[in-house]
Amino acid sequence: MHLFDMAGGYGFLEAFAYAKFVAPAVESMGEPMLRRLESSLPEGARVVDIGCGGGNILTALGALRPDLLLRGVDLHGSMVQRTRRLASQRKVRVEAVEGDAMALPFADGEFDAAYSVASIKHWPDARRGLLEASRVLRPGGSLLVVEADRSCTHQEAYNFVGRWRVPRLPGLRGAMLMYFRTYVAGQSLDMADATRLFAGLSLSTFSVEKVALMPAWMAAGQKAVQ
Ligand SMILES: C[S@@+](CC[C@H](N)C(=O)[O-])C[C@H]1O[C@@H](n2cnc3c(N)ncnc32)[C@H](O)[C@@H]1O
């Protein structure tokens, strides 16, 4: 992947820029999902973060719920290293591995919950990745996805970009806004896409909703119990 094309994993430079400037803002995008996981997961649940990046959300979940067994997987080795470093800084137990959402390195039914934040727009085949996520879930397990909304409003994008940790230089926010709307949200999925994708999985129930005040949606469902 390079900055203007969403396909594939992050290179070293993108991993650095993403972790330093953008990841904390994406963490707030994942906040409602985090709260839902925190309050709904049973004691000792096994959870996987697919496309975990630098581990911001995974380690935030670990800090809230130290009882959980947390795994992270990312296509890019330097992201996996970042997750391990952040986990050690935040003193959270996390196991991060390199792997592709298209062929997850986990057994069938291994997890009670699988989630992904801001990653599926990068996957070459979102449906295949979601089928993989369902495969590694036990029957009744939870699947959650948060992603940038291609149909977001100008104001949502403006607010989000305002959270990026970049210097306050004249014109920079406008350039970032154009970048986000064109290349990030612009190449992402909207709520109708998410609804179609989730409807094609073997879930007993699912919902797709806006993340309040953010240029993002959240989809959540439960794997059917046969
Ligand atoms: C925008 S970052 C989001 C990172 C993290 N989820 C977060 O919320 O900060 C997208 C991540 O997805 C990863 N990624 C892209 N394609 C992937 C794939 N096919 N399998 C696994 N990870 C992938 C990238 O390497 C990158 O770390």
Query: Over the stretch 44-57, which tens digit does the pLDDT of each residue have?
Result: 999 999 999 999 99
Please indicate whether residue 92, judged by its CB atom, sits closer than 6 Å to ligand 1. Answer: no
Residue indicated by tokens 């064109």: 182
Please indicate whether residue 10, judged by its CB atom, sits closer than 6 Å to ligand 1. Answer: yes
pLDDT tops 80 at residue 121: yes
What pLDDT sits at residue 69?
A: 98
Best residue among 13, 74, 104, 179 to mutate for probing ligand 1, ranked by most atoms within 8 Å of CB: 74
Six token digits for residue 174: 């406008």
Q: How far apart are CA 52 and CA 116, in angstroms?
A: 7
Query: Over the stretch 125-182, which tens digit does the pLDDT of each residue have?
Result: 999 999 999 999 999 999 999 999 999 999 999 999 999 998 888 888 899 999 999 9
Q: How far is the CA of 119 from the centre of ligand 1 (A)?
A: 4
The reply to whether 140 falls in a domain is yes
The mean pLDDT of 118-129, rounded to a whole number, is 97
Contact 66, 101 (CB under 8 A): no
Contact 194, 208 (CB under 8 A): yes
Residue whose CA is closest, atom 15 of ligand 1? 9
CB atoms within 10 A of CB 98: 15
Model confidence at 19, pLDDT cuts 50, 70, 90, reads confident
Residue span of the structural domain in which 124 resides:
12-223
Query: Over the stretch 57-100, which tens digit does the pLDDT of each residue have?
Result: 999 999 999 999 999 999 999 999 999 999 999 999 999 999 99
101 three-class SS:
coil
Contact 50, 114 (CB under 8 A): yes
Q: How far is the CA of 217 from the centre of ligand 1 (A)?
A: 17
Please indicate whether residue 87, judged by its CB atom, sits closer than 6 Å to ligand 1. Answer: no
Based on the structure, what is the number of domains in the chain?
1
Residue 106: which of 49, 61, 37, 34 has the closest Cα?
49
The whole-angstrom distance between residue 110's C-alpha and the CA centroid of its chain comes to 19
Domain harbouring 72, CATH code: 3.40.50.150
140 three-class SS:
strand
Please indicate whether residue 53, judged by its CB atom, sits closer than 6 Å to ligand 1. Answer: yes
